[in-house]
Amino acid sequence: MLFVDKVSQVCENSKINGNVLIAKGEEILFQGSFGYSNLEEKIPFVNDSVFRIGSITKQFTALSILQLVDKGLLKLEDTIDKFVDGVNYNHVVTIHHLLSNSSGIPNFDALGNYDDLLASENFHEKMVKEIILTKPLNFVPGERFEYSSSGFFILTHIIESVSKVPYHQYLQNNIFKPLNMKDSGFHFLHLDIPNFVSLYDFKDNMIVQAIEYDMRKASGAGGMYSTAKDLFMWGRGLIENKLVSRKYQDLMFQIHTPISKDGGYSYGLVSTIFEKNNITHSSIYHPGNGPGVFAQNMIIDRDIQLIVLSNVNDKFTFHECFNNLEKLIVEDLL
């Protein structure tokens, strides 16, 4: 059976609802759609269907920070009190800690009501000062791994403070335009986006319409939208060091906070190693989920890309599909 047929079979068997892209180098080996962009009206996906991408956004936030470091405008050792007034922690928290999910700063309630803050011009700064930094640290910074979207929210504020432009505009100027990512951006509420998919959640074993959610609350931790093709170009940009010097690209991929014996958290990425036929291989990836999305992109050996985007927040179906596609790639392409 041909590789493309095997990919289709995996996706159909898992009943994934979304778009899939697999590439090796600059060649797209498979690009296909399964299910519907709108389930009620049975509107099919197109190759350029636009999805929320959830925490894949963290990759873009991390790269933005590293660009600013590369330009000499920041240091990874800079402490957050350099950018935020009134930090009252007994321990020092650095940009490195935020990037590597080792800060100890607990997650804020992503479903909380922040309407008053959203109405202000300096929303990110107010969220950081009035919500995020009011909670005590969960542990001494650098001590261990703990996933923290709060940390990437603070990084969003730092990007805006240093670059002097809004976060979404920074991405547009420094990442989307250079990589020709024409269908990517920040998902502001009620934004009219061509080819944008309908959004669904999975609740009580049923697919239901997703709750309305202002993605500004997800910020640089999860507020972006994109397409499979745009994320392929993002992956090529990372592989070819188009956005930042090789020194900081390598630092982005390097494990900084161990999670298991085979991997850990890098900067906005999870990095792992595995063996096949006594050869060590590497992968970097990041999942993203939330109202109306489950998504993940992976780069294996800085060469092969696997991108799966779904408009249904259903982790069981998604993981079955993604994990089986990863196994297929390892078996057939390595």
> Using CA atoms, how far apart are residues 322 and 218, in angstroms rounded to an integer?
24
- Decide if pLDDT at 111 tops 90: no
Alpha-carbon radius of gyration of the chain:
19
The structural domains of the chain, ordered by start, are 3-333 (3.40.710.10)
> Using CA atoms, how far apart are residues 269 and 260, in angstroms rounded to an integer?
14
Region 273-277: what's the mean pLDDT? 92
Region 300-304: what's the mean pLDDT? 97
Q: What is the pLDDT of residue 112?
A: 87
Q: What is the pLDDT of residue 323?
A: 98
> Using CA atoms, how far apart are residues 100 and 311, in angstroms rounded to an integer?
28
Cut 0.85: pTM above it: yes
Q: What is the pLDDT of residue 331?
A: 96
Q: What is the pLDDT of residue 250?
A: 95
State residue 54 phi and psi, 5-degree precision: 55, -135
Strands, E assignment, the chain: 18-24, 27-34, 36-38, 43-44, 51-52, 185-186, 200-203, 206-209, 224-226, 257-260, 263-265, 270-276, 279-290, 293-300, 304-310, 312-313
- Decide if pLDDT at 36 tops 90: yes
> Using CA atoms, how far apart are residues 268 and 144, in angstroms rounded to an integer?
16
Q: Which of 84-88, 155-159, 232-236 has the lowest mean pLDDT?
A: 84-88
Region 164-191: what's the mean pLDDT? 95
For the chain, give the mean pLDDT: 95
Q: Could you tell me where the DSSP H helices lie in 74-175?
A: 95-99, 115-118, 123-130, 149-163, 167-171
Q: What is the pLDDT of residue 29?
A: 97
Region 188-193: what's the mean pLDDT? 84
Could you give the dihedral angle defined by the CA atoms of residues 285, 46, 222 and 172, in that order, rounded to the nearest 10 degrees? Answer: 100
pLDDT tens, 282-298? Answer: 999 999 999 999 999 99
CA angle 67, 70, 76 (to 5 degrees): 90
Q: What is the pLDDT of residue 166?
A: 95
DSSP state of 94: B
pLDDT tens, 141-169? Answer: 999 999 999 999 999 999 999 999 999 99
Instruction: For residue 242, give both structure tokens.
Output: 């188009």
- Decide if pLDDT at 274 tops 80: yes
Q: What is the pLDDT of residue 190?
A: 78
Q: Between 211 and 191, name the one with better pLDDT.
A: 211
